[in-house]
A and B are shown apart, each in its own frame.
Chain A
Amino acid sequence: MTRGLPPEETLTVAGGRALSRVDAEAVHGAALLLDGAAEGLRRAAHRCLGAAGTLRGAVWAPDPVTPPALALPSAPDGAEVEAVRRAAAARLDEAAARLRARTSAAERCAWRLRLAAGLYREAESAAQRVTDGAVTLLAGAAGAWLGLQALPVLATASVAGGVRDLLTTGAATGTPTGPLRAAQLPEPPSAPVISGPDGLLARAWRVVAPLSDEVVAGVATGLGATRPLSWSDLRRGTAEGPAAALDPVTRGAGSLSDVVTALLPRSVTRVVPLTEDDLAGPPPAWADRPAGTVAEALARTADLYPQGSGVVDRPAAGVPEGTLAVEQVVHDDGTTSWTVLIPGTQAFLSPANPFDAATDLSLMAHESADVSVAVEQALDAAGAAPDEPVVLVGHSLGGIAAVALAASPAFRAQHRVGGVVTAGAPTATFALPAGVPVLHLENDEELVSAVDGRSSGENRTSPDRVTVGRRLLDSTDPADVAAAGSIPLAHIVPTHLRTLTAAQRSGSVQVAGVTGRLERLLDGSRARTRFFAARRAGPAALVLAPGPGTTSPPPGVPTGATLH
C-alpha cells in the first residue's frame, strides 16, 4: 500500500509567495525538458523490453512448422545461436530495468523542482472526485439524519445556556474541582516510535484516512441543513463576513458547544504565573534562550505536555497540566518580540483545566474560548506592549487558539500579531490578516486537522499563509508508516516535526519564505520564558489582585503561585 517515497516526496504545499515570472519560466522550462527526457527513456525501455521478448520468444517457443530462418553470421550451430540470443536478451532486460529506473528518476527530479518552486498542484483524478463526492453525499445524509434526531437536544441546550447566563451573571456558580496533580518529570524517549498498531482497524484507517475531511464536511453540511441560522451565526457573519455565518463546520461546532457548555459548571479562566517550585524538575534548559527556529518553537510547545514532547532525548518541561509559555525575545537591535507556546487538548471535559474538548468546540465555533483568554492574560502578565510583535505557536487545540487569536480584531487591537505556527490543527475556517506569516503543518492520517472539513490542499492560502500537508503512508520512513495507522501517533508533535524537516529539505520556496520571516522574530540575542498555568474557577472563588497572604489560591492552582 505504501508508495515507498522519500518523506520529501510525500508533501503537498499550498500557499506562499510565488517565484518571479522569470524564475518560474526557467523552472517550467527545465522541468519540461526533464519530462521530455523521462518520456524518451520510457520509450527506450519499452523498445528494449520488446527486443528482449522477441529474442527470448525465439529461444523458448520455436515455431513447430517453419524451419529456423535465422542465420547469424558467426553462429554456425543452433546452440551457439541460442546462447547469443540469451546473452542479448539478458542485456536488454537489464537495460530496460535500468531505463525504467532512470525514467522514474527524471520524473522525480522534475516533480521535486516544481514542488520546491511552488509550481506543483496535485490534480485529483476523476475516480478520486467521484469517491470524494459520494462520501460527502453519504456523510451529508447521515448528518441530516443526526441533526433531525438531535434537534430537541440542541434547541434545549441553546435555550438552557442562555437562561443560565441571564440568571448567573456575576453570581457565584460553583467552585473549581479538586487539585490537579503536580506534574512528574517523565523520561524522554530514546528512540523514535517505528511500530504502531497493525490490526484491521489500523489497516482500514490507512486506506480511508484521506477521506476524513469529506466525511466531516458532509456531516457538518447535513447537520447545518437541519438548523436555522442562529443569532450567533448572524453575529459571526457580521464580524467575519457571510461565509463565516454559513460555514457548516463552524455552525456544527456551535451547536455542540451549546450542549457541552450547558453541561459544564459556569466558570471563568485565570492564569497563574508558575515559580520554579511548581515545576517537577529544574526549569527547562531552553528557558533563557530564544527558540530561534520554527522546529524548536514547536518542540518547546510539546515540552509543555505533562507527558513530554515525545521527541527523542528531549526532556519534558516538568510543568503542571494546562500550562502555556510566553517567551520574551530581545533582538540585536534592542527591539522585543514575544513567542507564545500553546499546547493542545489534555482532558475530555475538565472543570479545572481549560485545555479540554469544551475549549476545542468553542474555538471551532469561533466563540470566546478559555485558552484564548488565558493567552491574553499571560501576555498582559508578562508585560507585552501593544506594538511588540507576538508569534503564536500552537499544537492541536493550541493551534486553533493561535489562529483564532490572530483572526480576532479584539486581540489584534491589543497586540501586533507577528506570525502564527500551527501543527495538527483544523484552521481552515479562520481568515487571517494579510502580512502575517503563517505556517500550518498537517497530515492525512491525524484526523484532527481534517476536522475543519478541508484537506491540506484545500486550506485557505495567501502569499503569507502556507499549509504543508503529507500522506504519511507513502513515506519510506518507518516512523511515518507506523504513524499512518494510528491517529495519536500521526497527531503528535514529533510527526509534524518530521513533516517540517521534509518540507525544508525539499527546498520549498514557500516554506523557506514563511519560516524565514517567522524565524526573524523567533531568534534574538536573549530571551526569558515565563510559564503560566491556566485554570477554570467559579467567579466567586477568584479575588482579583488579592495581595500577598490575603487569600489562598483556588484548588487546582499550584503551590507557591499567586493569582494574577
Chain B
Amino acid sequence: MTPPASPFPSPAPDPAAVRGVVLAARSDAVDAAAGARRSLAVAWESTAADRFRDDVAALLADLDADLRLLEEAAAVLAR
C-alpha cells in the first residue's frame, strides 16, 4: 500500500539536486572569473586603467577563495 500524498512540498531535499545547484553556482562563478580575467587585457594606458587592473586582480584572488568554499559545500553534500 502506498502512503497518501503529502499536502506539503517535500522538505527532505534531494542531496544530488542540492549539490547540482551548488555546482551550477560554482560554474557561474568560474565563468564570471574568466570574464573578469579577460577584462584585465583592457588596452587603455592610464593610471585609471592600472588601478582597474589592480582592482580586478584583487577580485580574482577573492574569487579563488570563494570557489574553494563552494567546492567544500559540494563535497559535504556528496558524503
Binding site for B on A (CB under 8 A): 19, 22-23, 26-27, 29-31, 33-34, 36-41, 43-45, 47-48, 50-51, 54-55, 57-58, 61-70, 72-75, 84-85, 87-88, 91-92, 94-95, 98-99, 101-102, 105-106, 109, 112-113, 116-117, 506-509
Which residues in B have their C-beta under 8 angstroms from that of A84?
76-77, 79
CB distance from B12 to the nearest CB of A (A): 4
Decide if A47 touches B22 in the complex (CB within 8 Å): yes
CB distance from B8 to the nearest CB of A (A): 5
Per-residue contact bits, chain B 32-50, to A (CB 8 Å; 1 contact, 0 not) = 1101101101111011110
Q: Which of B48, B62, B69 contacts A509 (CB 8 A)?
A: B48
Given contact pairs A22-B43, A73-B79, A98-B69, a sample of 15 additional A-B residue pairs in the complex whose CB atoms are under 8 Å apart: A19-B44, A27-B44, A29-B42, A37-B32, A40-B28, A40-B32, A47-B25, A48-B73, A55-B13, A55-B18, A95-B73, A102-B59, A117-B46, A507-B47, A507-B48
Given the interface pairs A44-B26, A44-B28, A69-B10, the reply to whether A509 lies near B46 with Cβ below 8 Å is yes
A26 to B65, CA, bound (A): 29
Q: How many residues of B are in contact with the other chain, CB < 8 A?
A: 52
Most buried by A among B36, B49, B65: B36
User: For window 17-75 of chain B, which residues contact chain A by CB distance below 8 Å?
Assistant: 18, 21-22, 24-26, 28-29, 31-33, 35-36, 38-39, 41-44, 46-49, 51-52, 55-56, 58-59, 62-63, 65-66, 69-70, 72-73
Which residues in A have their C-beta under 8 angstroms from that of B15?
70, 72
Given the interface pairs A38-B32, A63-B12, A507-B51, the reply to whether A30 lies near B39 with Cβ below 8 Å is yes
Decide if A51 touches B42 in the complex (CB within 8 Å): no
CB distance from B31 to the nearest CB of A (A): 5
Decide if B12 touches A68 in the complex (CB within 8 Å): yes
Which residues in B have their C-beta under 8 angstroms from that of A85?
13
Closest to A68 in B: B12
Decide if B8 touches A65 in the complex (CB within 8 Å): yes
A540 to B5, CA, bound (A): 106
Closest to A70 in B: B12
8 A-B residue pairs with CB within 8 Å: A63-B6, A63-B10, A63-B11, A70-B13, A70-B14, A73-B79, A507-B51, A509-B48
Closest to B18 in A: A51
Which residues in A have their C-beta under 8 angstroms from that of B7?
65
Q: Give 6 nearest A-B pairs by CB, closest first.
A: A507-B48, A116-B48, A40-B32, A30-B42, A47-B25, A44-B28
Q: Which of B24, B32, B72 contacts A36 (CB 8 A)?
A: B32
Which residues in A have their C-beta under 8 angstroms from that of B69?
91, 94-95, 98
Decide if B49 touches A113 in the complex (CB within 8 Å): yes
A34 to B13, CA, bound (A): 34
Which residues in B have their C-beta under 8 angstroms from that of A27?
42, 44, 49
Q: Which of A45, A92, A116 contacts B46 (CB 8 A)?
A: A116
Decide if A44 touches B25 in the complex (CB within 8 Å): yes
A33 to B3, CA, bound (A): 52
Closest to B38 in A: A33
Decide if A66 touches B8 in the complex (CB within 8 Å): yes
Most buried by B among A26, A31, A88: A88
Decide if B35 touches A69 in the complex (CB within 8 Å): no
Decide if B79 touches A102 in the complex (CB within 8 Å): no
A70 to B26, CA, bound (A): 24
Decide if B59 touches A106 in the complex (CB within 8 Å): yes
CB distance from A461 to the nearest CB of B (A): 20
A70 to B10, CA, bound (A): 10
A38 to B32, CA, bound (A): 7
A92 to B73, CA, bound (A): 6
Q: Which of A40, A67, A88, A116 contacts B35 (CB 8 A)?
A: A40
Closest to A91 in B: B73
Decide if B36 touches A48 in the complex (CB within 8 Å): no
Decide if A66 touches B39 in the complex (CB within 8 Å): no
Closest to B17 in A: A54
Which residues in A have their C-beta under 8 angstroms from that of B49?
27, 113, 116
Q: Which of A34, A39, A74, A116 contacts B39 (CB 8 A)?
A: A34
Decide if A99 touches B29 in the complex (CB within 8 Å): yes
Which residues in B have their C-beta under 8 angstroms from that of A37?
32-33, 35-36, 39
Closest to A25 in B: B43
Which residues in B have their C-beta under 8 angstroms from that of A44?
25-26, 28-29, 32, 70
CB distance from A286 to the nearest CB of B (A): 28
Decide if B79 touches A54 in the complex (CB within 8 Å): no
A39 to B28, CA, bound (A): 9
Decide if B51 touches A92 in the complex (CB within 8 Å): no
Q: Which of A22, A41, A58, A109 contacts B52 (CB 8 A)?
A: A109
CB distance from A74 to the nearest CB of B (A): 5
Most buried by A among B14, B28, B55: B28
CB distance from A31 to the nearest CB of B (A): 8
Given the interface pairs A66-B12, A72-B15, A102-B66, the reply to whether A117 lies near B72 with Cβ below 8 Å is no
A152 to B46, CA, bound (A): 60
Decide if A54 touches B18 in the complex (CB within 8 Å): yes
A509 to B46, CA, bound (A): 9
Closest to A85 in B: B13
Q: Which of A19, A40, A64, A102 contacts B62 (CB 8 A)?
A: A102
CB distance from B24 to the nearest CB of A (A): 6
CB distance from A261 to the nearest CB of B (A): 48
